[in-house]
Copies of this chain bind each other. A is one copy, B any other.
Amino acid sequence: MTETGTRLDDATEAQLADVRYTADGLVPAIVQDEAGDVLMMAWMTAETLRLTLVEGRTVFWSRSRQEVWRKGETSGEVQWVRSAFYDCDGDTLLFVVDQDGAGACHTGEHSCFHRRFGA
A interface, CB within 8 angstroms of B: 8, 10-11, 15-16, 18, 28, 30, 32, 35-38, 40-41, 53, 83-89, 92, 94, 105-107, 109, 112-119
Indicate if the CB atoms of A117 and B86 lie closer than 8 Å.
Answer: yes
CB distance from A72 to the nearest CB of B (A): 16
For the complex, what is the distance from the CA of A85 to the CA of B87, rounded to whole Å?
A: 22
Interface of A is mostly: loop
B112 touching A88, Cβ below 8 Å:
yes
Copies in the complex: 2
Q: Are A10 and B53 in contact (CB under 8 A)?
A: no
Q: Which 3 A-B pairs have the closest CB atoms?
A: A36-B36, A11-B117, A85-B113
Which of B15, B84, B89, B109 sits near A112, CB closer than 8 Å? B89
Q: How far is the CA of A85 from the CA of B112 in the complex (A)?
A: 9
On chain B, the residues within 8 Å of A84 by CB distance are 116-118
Of B10, B87, B106, B119, the contact of A41 (CB 8 Å cutoff): B87
| Contact with A88, one of B35, B53, B105 (Cβ below 8 angstroms) | B105
What is the minimal beta-carbon distance from A115 to any residue of chain B, in angstroms? 5
User: Is A88 a contact of B109 with CB atoms below 8 Å?
Assistant: yes
Establish whether residues A88 and B117, one from each chain, have CB atoms under 8 Å apart when the complex forms: no
